[in-house]
Every structure is written in C-alpha cells, then in structure tokens.
Amino acid sequence: MSKNPSQAGGRTYRILFPPIAAMLLLSACSGGNLTARNDDPVTIRIQLPIIQKDPTSITYENAARHFHELNPNMTIELAYASLKPGSESVDLDPTKLLKSDHPPDIMPLPQFRLASVANQGLLKDLRQLQSADSSVKIDIPQGLLDTTTVNGELLLLPYAAFPVVVYYNKQLFDNAQIPYPTGEWTWEQFKETSKKLKAPFGSILPYDIWTLDELIGSLGTGLLSKDGTTAVGYLDSPAAASAVQWLNAYYKDDPNKRGPQTAVDAFEQFGSYGTGMTVNGAGVQYRGFQGDSQSLLGVAPLPYFENGKRVNPLDVLGYGISAKSEHPAEAWKFMAYLLLTDNADSKELAKGFYPTSKTIEQAGNRGEHAMEQVFMGEMDYAAITSLSNSPYIYKAWDAPLEQRFDALLDAKDEDIPDKLHEIAQQLDQALAREKAASERLEQEASAGLTLDIDGT
C-alpha cells in the first residue's frame, strides 16, 4: 500500500483526523492598505473553510451578527467554500485567491500551506496590527506563533492545533502488568515498553520518512533544508542515519513485523486491539474505543530521544489578513473577537478544535479532562517538521523513492549512511523538478486571467 500522502496534506500520514481536519485541505485569502475612520461603514469579508450547510456555519453567522451589534459601522460578510464535484473536500487555491483582484479580507490557511505563499508578500504582518490595538493580547504559546512566523512576520494567527501523541490500550497494559505511560518519556522507553506488551504487535510506527522526520525532530534537525528544497546534507545526515538504525532495531524487536508497516496498518491494528500503542494526531477516533470501551483509551505525550529534546510536530490552523485588504485594522478586530476574546461566539467555535489561546482555553474550561490536558500540554513543545515546510515533497516523494526507503529495513547499520545519501540525491532531483513545474504554473497563472472571488 502506498504511503505517499499527496492526497491528504499537512501531517498527512496520520490517519482520520477529526472533522475539523478537513480544514487542513484548503486555504483562502484577503485584500489592501487603508483603514477607515471610526465612523465610516466598512464591510469585512472572511473566507470560511466550510460549506454553508456545515453546522459550524451557524456559529460564524451568529458571530458576524453579534460583532456588528457591538460595532455598528462594521459588517461581516461570510464567503463559504464549495465542494469539489463528486467529493467531500473543498477546493480553494490559496495563491490564486490571494492574488485575485478582490480577495476576502480574512482567510483560513493551514500552516503546511504557508510555505507556498509566505515569500510573495500576500499576507499582512499581524504583529503590526496587534501593536496598534493594545486592547487585545495574543496569549498563544510562543512556539506555536513561531510555526506561522516567517522572516520575523506573524503571517497567520494559529487558532487551533492538533498535537501528535501516543495512544495506548489500558487493557493491554493491565494484562502485561505495565504502568501506564505518564509525563515525559523517551523513545528508548517507548521501545522497551513495546517489547513487553502482550499483543500481536507491541506497537506500530509506520516505516516511512514521515515517521523518520518526527524522530529526528527530537534531535534538533530535519530531513530537508529550511526552504524544503534540498535533501542532501539532511536526509543523509548522521542524525537521520542514527534514527533509521533505531527504527530498524525497533522493528526487529518484534518478529510479527515482517516488513515495513504503513500508517493504515498502525491505525487498523490499534483499533482492533492488535497493538498496545500507536502514534497519531489529537482527536483521532478508533473503532475499538467507542461507547463503554472509551475508558480503555489512554493518551501520553510524544516521546523524545534521550540525547534530544521534547518537540511536537503538530498540525496548525490559522487565519491571516490579505495584504490587499483595505480595512486590515477592522479585519484584525474581528479576528481578535472570534479567536482571542472570551465571548459566547468564541467559546462555541472552539468546541470544534483544540484552541491555542489561553483565554479561550480557560473560558471554555478546556484541559479539565486527562486527554485534553495532554493535548494542551503538548502545544508548549510546538515544532514544524522539515517535510511540512516543503511545498514540493508530497509530489516529489514517489513510489520508486518509497521503495528505496523501505529497503533500508533490511540494510546493515554500516550501509545505511551511503544508502540514505543515494536516496537524498534522487530526492533532490525530484524536488528540483517539482519546484520548476510549480514556477512554470505560477508564471502561466500570472499571465492568465485574474480571479475575483465573490462572497456568495
């Protein structure tokens, strides 16, 4: 089964995020420079990452109405997404939207799409807007803000985050008489615990570069350069080789792992009690832990290597303000009302995700349950993997590269550095091809028709 995540996006090898994860598949935009006088009527258009019939649309409609009641000169216009023909996913191109003649003022954008628009001057620096409005503070952990900051500019307000955590089966831990994992722990401890669990598989980590990128994040490095265009010197680094060697030893500890396992294998085995532990994103639902069995599901923080540090390569959803917006100060005011301020609308909206704002978290009494405490706590270790920062990796990582990576499982430890170097060289060629293709499409789009996105 292919593990290429090109159809999903973001932390894409993770399986079945909650419904809010549909928002990871899209992005939108906004537009100008001028700020109206306090008494001038203005209309702020926000592009929503949902279709109009989505239940969440009522929350946005109420928020728009209540905000207008508090600010009679400001009207909020909601622009809904549309579905792809024959699909349940929405179809929004962030670059096209941002470059259109009349884009929305406020746009949703998952962090993994930020790399494709960040250096084109298409988004406002939210820090400057917040500095001019001292009435609202951005009470979001700095690590999360760093994930949406480019060249010192805060381009997205990260309002929701989905940390990666370890899920474990309490029943299988009890059967093996093993204490539940609590607090911080290491990958070395994870490996030893996995060996002791009495299940067909102690645990399953998918054998792919997405797992490898998470592992070496703990060692302070990644598989690609910061701009996501170069693998040589990163994928073939000593840290990467060491992590592959650890992953191979982890696989060979379990005789049932007769070959590379996929994310689907990990998901299905855990849901059917075939494994005692798995790694996935916050809020994932497993079929074997529904109803009365829900109490058997435990959650632990993401491990780190003994010689590394805690990091969590979480998924982040944000809102930004278009560089073309004619009313950026007013747009910021509505964003702050919806995402940073304690009110009925912000609390209702935050029920659908894990909020990053401490104000919203406390107002909604989030983090009171054991699972949410882990989810919220992991936000303090926010990081973005090098693969998530690359706009080209999902197409560049094709079946031949995947097969060469899978073959590492049977390689001798001493051969792994050279084999990784060969894969890195091949990946660099593929990344260069995708980058060139993307630039050609961008040039063709610039020479073609401009888009005008209406609010209907």
pLDDT tens, residue by residue, 57-104: 999 999 999 999 999 999 999 998 877 776 666 666 777 888 888 999
User: DSSP class of residue 318?
Assistant: E
pLDDT score at 362:
86
Nearest-angstrom CA–CA distance, 441 and 447: 10
pLDDT score at 1:
40
Question: Is pLDDT above 60 for 10?
Answer: no
Nearest-angstrom CA–CA distance, 348 and 310: 32
User: DSSP class of residue 319?
Assistant: E
pLDDT score at 23:
44
Reduced to 3 states (helix: H, G, I; strand: E, B; else coil), residue 109 is strand
Residue 160: half-sphere exposure toward Cβ, Cα within 13 Å: 23
Q: Residue 161: CB partners within 8 Å, gap ≥ 6?
A: 144, 282, 314, 315, 316, 317, 354, 356, 379, 382
Residue with tokens 């916050």: 282
Q: Which of 364, 171, 387 is nearest to 276 (CA)?
A: 171
How far apart, in Å, are the Cα atoms of 8 and each of 15, 384, 445?
Answer: 9, 17, 24
Report the C-alpha dihedral over residues 53, 58, 64, 70, rounded to 10 degrees: 170
Q: Pairing between strand 149-150 and 153-154?
A: antiparallel
Neighbours of 131 (CB within 10 A): 9
Nearest-angstrom CA–CA distance, 9 and 25: 6
pLDDT score at 283:
85
Q: What is the pLDDT of residues 142-196, one digit of tens each?
A: 999 999 999 999 999 999 999 999 999 999 999 999 999 989 999 999 999 999 9
Q: Which of 300, 24, 15 is nearest to 160 (CA)?
A: 24
pLDDT score at 167:
97
Q: Residue 262: CB partners within 8 Å, gap ≥ 6?
A: 1, 3, 206, 207, 208
- What the block records as the tokens of 97 is 């939207």
Residue with tokens 């980590």: 205
Question: Is pLDDT above 70 for 12?
Answer: no
Q: Pairing between strand 275-281 and 157-162?
A: unpaired
> Considering the chain, what percentage of its residues have pLDDT values greater than 70?
87
What's the mean pLDDT in 278-282? 94
Report the mean per-residue pLDDT for the chain: 86
Question: 328-339 and 56-70 are packed helices; what angle lies between their axes, rounded to 10 degrees?
Answer: 120
pLDDT score at 173:
96
Nearest-angstrom CA–CA distance, 219 and 297: 29
Q: What is the pLDDT of residues 125-152, one digit of tens each?
A: 999 999 988 788 999 999 999 999 999 9
Residue with tokens 């009495």: 198
Positions of E strands within 264-380: 275-281, 297-300, 315-321
Nearest-angstrom CA–CA distance, 140 and 56: 23
What's the mean pLDDT in 108-123? 87
Report the C-alpha dihedral over residues 424, 426, 431, 433, rounded to 10 degrees: 160
| Contact assessment for residue 387 and residue 194, using Cβ atoms and an 8 Å cutoff | no
User: DSSP class of residue 132?
Assistant: T
3-state helix, strand, coil in the chain (%, to 5): 45, 15, 45
Nearest-angstrom CA–CA distance, 250 and 184: 20
Question: 187-196 and 238-252 are packed helices; what angle lies between their axes, rounded to 10 degrees?
Answer: 10
pTM: 0.85
- What the block records as the tokens of 388 is 């998530």
Q: Identify the bridge partners of residue 76 per DSSP, sorted by sequence position.
A: 44
Report the C-alpha dihedral over residues 181, 186, 190, 196, rounded to 10 degrees: -80
Q: Residue 164: CB partners within 8 Å, gap ≥ 6?
A: 11, 14, 214, 279, 280, 281, 282, 302, 312, 313, 314, 378
Nearest-angstrom CA–CA distance, 426 and 171: 45
Q: Which domains does the chain have, with CATH numbers?
A: 19-162+315-381 (3.40.190.10)
Work out the end-to-end distance of the chain between its first and last CA atoms, rounded to an integer number of angstroms: 40
- What the block records as the tokens of 136 is 């609202």
